[in-house]
Structure 1
Amino acid sequence: MFDVRSRASRWGLQLLATLIVVPYLFPLVAMVQGSLAGQGLGNYAKVFATGIVHTYFLNSIIIAASTIALVYVCTMLAAFGFAKLRIAGKEIWFWLLLVALTMPEAVLLTPLFVTASTFDMYNELIAVILPLAALQVPFTVLLARSFFNGIPNELMEAGRIDGASVVRVFWHIVLPLTRPIAGAIVVLTLINSWNAYLLPLLMLNDPSKQVVTLLPTFFMSQYTNDQTGVLAAAVITAVPVIAAYLLLQRSFERGLAAGALK
């Protein structure tokens, strides 16, 4: 681990970290202050009085949990194959997968909408879950493959000598060693799926199917623009993912470090 020993270096590092954090901190402070303007906590009561918070939160939880499950399964299997199995042309397939990282989400909205309409998935949560998972997998596979490469091949060979199949080696030997990188993948996927905005806005027209990121739009229309309601809803939307990150911060940082160094 990098160790800063001198006092000047510690102060310099602290100053640099502060300068990086401050631009992101000001909007958060302004959002909280704006949400308390006028009626104070009454603005939050106004948001919950709409009666839609529970529905929006439930939909977001379903989408986030399903996306995390899909990304985790696909990432672990793909990373194991790319790192440990002898597959013809696997490097070509790996780099083709990484090409997907260059595709912005906005470019894919039209083909995704046409596909969802064709397969009668429009206005269903699955129309958001599948694209969100697909957009996360390339980066998580890149991250997990580096971690899998750091697992000694001797462990797998010992399992094969004892008569274990590839599936059993993966399940009983390799997978338990991937907990650090799994924590990072879960946190990254949770943040990205919970904060998704464009895909739910496009795919979910039914109010009973919408998600928390669309909650602030409830206070915006052609004739109304309740900014205190918008900001209060934004704070309510952000609190769960911030709390989840703080609870999983250690696992997230450990997983990223393990994935980068291995």
Structure 2
Amino acid sequence: MLEARTWTGKATLQIIVTLITIPFLIPLIVMVQGSFAGQGWGNYAAVLSLPQLPSFFVNSAIISALTIAIALICTVLAAFGFAKLRIRGKEFFFWLLLAALTLPEIVLVTPLFVTATSTNLYNTYWAVVLPLAALQIPFTVLITRTFMNGIPDALIEAARIDGANTWRAFWHVVLPLTRPIAAAVIILTLISAWNAYLLPLIFLQDAGSQVVTQVPSFFQGQYNDDQTKVLASAVITAIPLIVAYLSLQKLFERGLSAGALK
């Protein structure tokens, strides 16, 4: 890892990082400023006064938690198999899994709708949770496999010499070392699940089962478009993601950097 040791190098690096960050900060600053336009804090009061808001947050939390659980379990197990186990044709299956990264969400709507209705999952959380987890798993397996490739095989061999089978070696040796990449998987999956808009809109038809991404629609319609309250709702719904990232920031950065480099 490159490190600036001189004062000039540190100052130059700080300037470069600041310049790179500015384009990403401008939309956030504009969003926060716009949310205070007009009525100021009244915009936030109007959003918080929506009677459906608590249930929307609960629905998003449930969908996000289930999606994270499924994605994390499948990712860790699949990455361990691809990285450490001798499986015939595993490279073929790995690249077949990565091919799913090329499929946009909108292309899958029709087959997912047919599947959901034929399996009686339509208008349930699972109609949203399962596709969200499936869409996230290929990328998370990619970075997790790279991370697990960095775990020395000698640790697993030592566990087997001590009498541990493959499952015990995974549970007691490999899994405790995956905390950084697990944090990265959790954050990435949380962002995807919490910000999901299309799938909940299509597969959750009951008004009480909608999610936080539907909150701005209360201030948009055929004859009204209150952008200040739309921006206020965007700020409010982003707060849980910010808190989650700050809580797992160190582990997330370690896991993502380790999972991106072989």
AA paired with 2:57?
A: F
Task: Tell me the distance in 2 between the aligned counterparts of 1:6 and 1:110.
Answer: 58
Could you tell me which residue of structure 1 aligns to residue 179 of structure 2? 179
Matches within 5 A, 1:58-207: 58-207=58-207
Asked if residue 32 in structure 1 is aligned to residue 32 in structure 2, the reply is yes
SS in 2 for 1:205: coil
Task: Tell me the distance in 2 between the aligned counterparts of 1:15 and 1:32.
Answer: 25
Task: Tell me the distance in 2 between the aligned counterparts of 1:41 and 1:176.
Answer: 45
The answer to which of 109-118 and 187-196 deviates more is: 109-118
CA deviation after TM superposition for structure 1 residue 228, in Å: 1.8
Matches within 5 A, 1:210-249: 210-249=210-249
Task: Tell me the distance in 2 between the aligned counterparts of 1:201 and 1:20.
Answer: 35
Tell me the alpha carbon deviations over residues 112-156 of structure 1, each in whole angstroms, 9 at most, x when there is no partner: 122112222222111111011001111111111111111122221
Task: Tell me the distance in 2 between the aligned counterparts of 1:91 and 1:27.
Answer: 41
Q: Which runs of 5+ in 2 are unaligned?
A: none
The answer to which of 35-44 and 17-26 deviates more is: 17-26
AA paired with 1:68?
A: I
Tell me the alpha carbon deviations over residues 8-32 of structure 1, each in whole angstroms, 9 at most, x when there is no partner: 4433333332232222212211211
- Deviating beyond 6 angstroms after TM superposition, the runs of 4 or more aligned structure 1 residues are none
Task: Tell me the distance in 2 between the aligned counterparts of 1:242 and 1:106.
Answer: 27
Could you tell me which residue of structure 2 aligns to residue 11 of structure 1? 11
AA paired with 2:93?
A: W
Asked if residue 258 in structure 1 is aligned to residue 258 in structure 2, the reply is yes
AA paired with 1:192?
A: S
AA paired with 1:206?
A: D
SS in 2 for 1:224: coil
Could you tell me which residue of structure 2 aligns to residue 209 of structure 1? 209
AA paired with 2:54?
A: H
Task: Tell me the distance in 1 between the aligned counterparts of 2:198 and 2:10.
Answer: 41
Tell me the alpha carbon deviations over residues 174-197 of structure 1, each in whole angstroms, 9 at most, x when there is no partner: 111111111111111111111111
Q: Which runs of 5+ in 1 are unaligned?
A: none
Q: How many residues align?
A: 262
AA paired with 2:218?
A: F
CA deviation after TM superposition for structure 1 residue 96, in Å: 0.3
SS in 2 for 1:120: coil
Task: Tell me the distance in 1 between the aligned counterparts of 2:10 and 2:168.
Answer: 48
Tell me the alpha carbon deviations over residues 40-93 of structure 1, each in whole angstroms, 9 at most, x when there is no partner: 111111112111110010001001111111111001100111111111111100
SS in 1 for 2:248: helix
Task: Tell me the distance in 1 between the aligned counterparts of 2:156 and 2:9.
Answer: 44
The answer to which of 126-135 and 29-38 deviates more is: 29-38
AA paired with 1:170?
A: F
SS in 2 for 1:38: coil
- TM-score, length-normalised on structure 1? 0.95
AA paired with 1:87?
A: I
- TM-score, length-normalised on structure 2? 0.95
